[in-house]
Structure 1
């Protein structure tokens, strides 16, 4: 496996991203990067990004959630951000990304986790929850899902999947801007481009849309997700939905969870403002929702943060 590592200077002086780097060695050759802010003894909030973003997506949420007394962990998926990047598209798989992240989670022995997830962060995070439900305490999910062959996908996603596979032009910053309602600054656009010095580094960003298990694609992923749904259908801990009001890709996807996951009942579901990447459009409200939910125990009663 040919593994690429983005030069460290690409990440210097990024706007609003001054977090100390942390590293986990998955194999002798493969290194995962993560942000780790807040009290180490506090309950962890695991923020999982999607594709083609990285932990930079959560920069406006990490500090306020950590300041509320919670431990915030935001890993960069392998192939993204500061994490290492296998160079071949065939080096990536849905189950492989789940396995990489589970190895990291178990190495840190994270427990009582609040999972915050969106886009591919949901596909991976909900599979992690299904594989080790004892480690998770609650979920906050927006603009994501857990697709199988039985589910319909939007026309917008079909176009995105084709573009990612075949287009010779793949401008990461512009892709993030397309999924965001507010205008990103030149510095923010550069930060999203930073992990990818050239096209060789984009294998993961290119391949992951085709790994989503929908009809005709990724049969193994579909079967694994069906099994994960079986766990979610028995999930009675809090499951909070916070989809945005302007995402053409996942609009309406919350209905399946409201219907099938018992933990959604009686929860403070809300509609955030913005496009697909609502972390860019409504970060302050998203962060407040996380803090408020983490002040409740699994029965919805007030509980001290950090207990």
Structure 2
């Protein structure tokens, strides 16, 4: 598999992103390997909080949340999905599949030997993360879902998603930082916009970002439907604590939290919260608030 690797100097001096990089090698499923970047902060012997980002962001999205989570005593793991951040970026659109993304993150869990995990997932972080939960239920202690879903192709994904998918395929230059800026309630600074563009020196680095919207199961014959339906069968039996923490201003995933609350037993009795003044990227708008929600959730639901 051919891939690109963003030069390290692109990540130098990014605002509020002073974390040390860590790397793992994962199989590209074609007898080669890809390098996956992840952050690993806090005490190594503490239970991990796994933060999974989505499209088209990277672990920079979690820079406001990591310090308060670490201050509460947690180990925090924040990978960059393949195709994003400091992780390698395969150069062909067809190299990116839903199953490969799940497999690549499964390899991260396995290599780091993570157990007793608290997952926070947003956007594609949920499409991947909830699959991981269903396929490794013993490894996860709790889940917090924010602005995400696990679609099976059986339901209409809504006009907002369809418009986004159409835009992602027809725009000549995929405007990563502009997309993120447009999906927040706060105006992002020039330094922040620069950080979101940092992983992508030019359009050749963006094949993963381009492909992600096309991988969301939108029809019943999508190749990921069977696996996602199987994941839902596990989640419908999930008794461990499960919290929804969606924002109040996300047209793409609005309403998905009520589906989770209805179908996942672990949601019962939890103080599900709506994060005020948050867009789709609620970590950017209300990161400190969200970190406090996660800290309280863990404290209130000890294993």
Give the alignment partner of residue 82 of structure 2, picking from 56, 69, 78: 78
Give the alignment partner of residue 111 of structure 1, picking from 105, 109, 115: 115
Residues 88-137 of structure 1: CA distance to partner in whole angstroms, max 9, x if unpaired?
10000000000000011111110000000000000000000111110000
> In the alignment, which residue of structure 1 is the partner of 2:51?
47
Give the alignment partner of residue 150 of structure 1, picking from 142, 154, 165: 154
CA distance, structure 1, for counterparts of residue 33 and residue 230 of structure 2: 32
Q: Does 1:267 align with 2:270?
A: yes
Residues 203-227 of structure 1: CA distance to partner in whole angstroms, max 9, x if unpaired?
00000001000126x6221111000
> In the alignment, which residue of structure 1 is the partner of 2:19?
19
> In the alignment, which residue of structure 1 is the partner of 2:190?
186
Runs (4 or more) in structure 1 with deviation over 4 Å come to none
CA distance, structure 1, for counterparts of residue 25 and residue 252 of structure 2: 34
Residues 25-44 of structure 1: CA distance to partner in whole angstroms, max 9, x if unpaired?
11454100000000100000
CA distance, structure 2, for counterparts of residue 193 and residue 206 of structure 1: 14
> In the alignment, which residue of structure 2 is the partner of 1:300?
none
Deviation at 1:2? 1.1
The 5 A counterparts of 1:93-104 are: 93-104=97-108
Deviation at 1:169? 2.2
> In the alignment, which residue of structure 1 is the partner of 2:137?
133
Deviation at 1:182? 0.2
> In the alignment, which residue of structure 2 is the partner of 1:236?
239
Q: Check conservation: 1:3, 1:29, Cα contact below 8 A.
A: no
Deviation at 1:177? 0.3
CA distance, structure 2, for counterparts of residue 97 and residue 170 of structure 1: 21
Deviates more, 1:163-172 or 1:135-144: 163-172
Residues 181-204 of structure 1: CA distance to partner in whole angstroms, max 9, x if unpaired?
100000000000000000000000
Deviation at 1:54? 0.3
CA distance, structure 1, for counterparts of residue 288 and residue 272 of structure 2: 16
Give the alignment partner of residue 63 of structure 1, picking from 41, 64, 67: 67
Secondary structure of 2:213's counterpart equals: helix
CA distance, structure 1, for counterparts of residue 182 and residue 225 of structure 2: 28
> In the alignment, which residue of structure 1 is the partner of 2:96?
92
Q: Check conservation: 2:242, 2:267, Cα contact below 8 A.
A: yes
Deviation at 1:154? 1.7
**How many residues are aligned here?**
298
CA distance, structure 2, for counterparts of residue 29 and residue 208 of structure 1: 21
Q: Check conservation: 1:50, 1:120, Cα contact below 8 A.
A: yes
| Cα RMSD after superposing both structures | 1.1
CA distance, structure 2, for counterparts of residue 222 and residue 177 of structure 1: 31
TM-score calculated relative to the size of structure 2:
0.96
Runs of 5+ in structure 1 lacking a partner?
298-302
Secondary structure of 1:144's counterpart equals: coil
Q: Check conservation: 2:83, 2:90, Cα contact below 8 A.
A: yes
CA distance, structure 2, for counterparts of residue 220 and residue 236 of structure 1: 28
CA distance, structure 1, for counterparts of residue 160 and residue 264 of structure 2: 26
CA distance, structure 1, for counterparts of residue 64 and residue 119 of structure 2: 17
Secondary structure of 2:142's counterpart equals: strand
CA distance, structure 1, for counterparts of residue 16 and residue 79 of structure 2: 17
